[in-house]
């Protein structure tokens, strides 16, 4: 595990991910079907070449605890990617939460899916209230200093990306609803198609040649079609494939 870049109070024993809850039922923005399917598609297509980035972790609707002085304060991104931190190798090691003082590494990219209940905070349009935790935007920008913060609006099919430049997020100009990440050798953009039987606009990863990274289900379908074509060619030659 990498050495933590976040200071820890010497006089206090901080909680670990096992001590902190994984969700708070009273929070707004509870997952609906889209908030279930879209992160799945992002996870399935985020196939980073191993020679580019080694260990990495993908979190979906997982609490991030970020303040050692207030260990219960947290944010729960719809999707996030951390570089330099490995995923669990055993089921018992699957994370309950992502605890910054335990992991020592902030996310590289956070994606929020806009919904009516959380849109204002996701866009940084809410102000911090007195004696309350900082807003989501403040945590990503000023505390965790997440290099990239993306927002996808399913209602307008709009993808927006902000990059941390200095101490503030600056919105990047995205051409054709696609943007390339040199650090990952992958691009992220809006794709029109059917996923989990639902046709529409989805956020997914693409490769250097511009083609969309295929999901395991798409790969299996391509193999089936290839096998069917081969079988048809063999039958045309008078050969039964099973023989």
Give 161-171 pLDDT, tens digit per residue. 999 999 999 99
pLDDT of 227: 80
170 phi and psi, to 5 degrees? -120, 130
pLDDT of 228: 76
Three-state DSSP at 78 gives coil
pLDDT at residue 135 greater than cutoff 70: yes
**What's the sign of the alpha-carbon dihedral 72, 7, 82, 17?**
negative
- Point out the least confidently predicted range of 12-21, 57-66, 197-206: 12-21
Higher pLDDT among residues 176 and 231, named by residue: 176
| Tokens of residue 4, six digits | 């933590």
pLDDT of 27: 59
Residue 38, judged by CB atoms within 10 A of its CB (0-12, 13-18, 19+), counts as buried
pLDDT of 76: 94
Please report which confidence band the pLDDT of residue 77 belongs to, taking 50, 70 and 90 as the band edges: very high
pLDDT of 6: 61
User: 40-44, 120-124, 216-220: which has the highest mean pLDDT?
Assistant: 40-44
Please answer whether residues 35 and 113 qualify as being in contact, where contact means their C-beta atoms are separated by less than 8 angstroms: yes
Could you tell me whether strands 148-153 and 109-113 are parallel, antiparallel, or unpaired per DSSP bridges?
parallel
Q: What's the CA gap between 226 and 90, in Å, rounded?
A: 35
- Point out the least confidently predicted range of 48-52, 88-92, 187-191, 229-233: 229-233
pLDDT of 58: 97
Average pLDDT over residues 130-136: 88
Higher pLDDT among residues 85 and 21, named by residue: 85
Average pLDDT over residues 194-204: 96
Average pLDDT over residues 88-103: 95
Please report which confidence band the pLDDT of residue 134 belongs to, taking 50, 70 and 90 as the band edges: very high
């Amino acid at each position: 595990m990498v050495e933590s870049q976040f200071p820890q109070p010497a006089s206090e024993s901080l909680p670990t991910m096992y001590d902190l809850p994984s969700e708070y039922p009273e929070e707004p923005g509870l997952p609906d079907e889209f908030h279930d399917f879209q992160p799945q598609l992002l996870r399935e297509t985020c196939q980073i070449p191993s020679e580019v980035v080694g260990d990495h972790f993908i979190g979906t609707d997982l609490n991030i605890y970020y303040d050692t002085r207030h260990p219960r304060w947290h944010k729960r991104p719809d999707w996030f990617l951390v570089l330099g931190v490995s995923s669990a190798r055993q089921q018992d090691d699957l994370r309950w939460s992502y605890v910054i003082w335990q992991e020592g590494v902030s996310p590289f990219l956070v994606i929020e899916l806009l919904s009516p209940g959380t849109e204002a905070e996701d866009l940084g349009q809410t102000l911090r209230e007195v004696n309350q935790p900082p807003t989501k935007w403040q945590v990503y920008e000023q505390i965790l200093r997440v290099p990239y913060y993306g927002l996808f609006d399913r209602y307008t099919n709009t993808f927006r990306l902000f990059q941390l430049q200095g101490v503030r997020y600056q919105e990047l100009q995205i051409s054709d609803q696609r943007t390339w990440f040199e650090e990952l050798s992958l691009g992220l953009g809006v794709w029109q198609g059917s996923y989990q039987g639902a046709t529409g606009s989805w956020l997914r990863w693409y490769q250097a040649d511009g083609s969309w990274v295929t999901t395991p289900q798409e790969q299996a379908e391509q193999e089936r079609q290839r096998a069917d074509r081969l079988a048809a060619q063999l039958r045309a030659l008078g050969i039964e494939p099973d023989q």
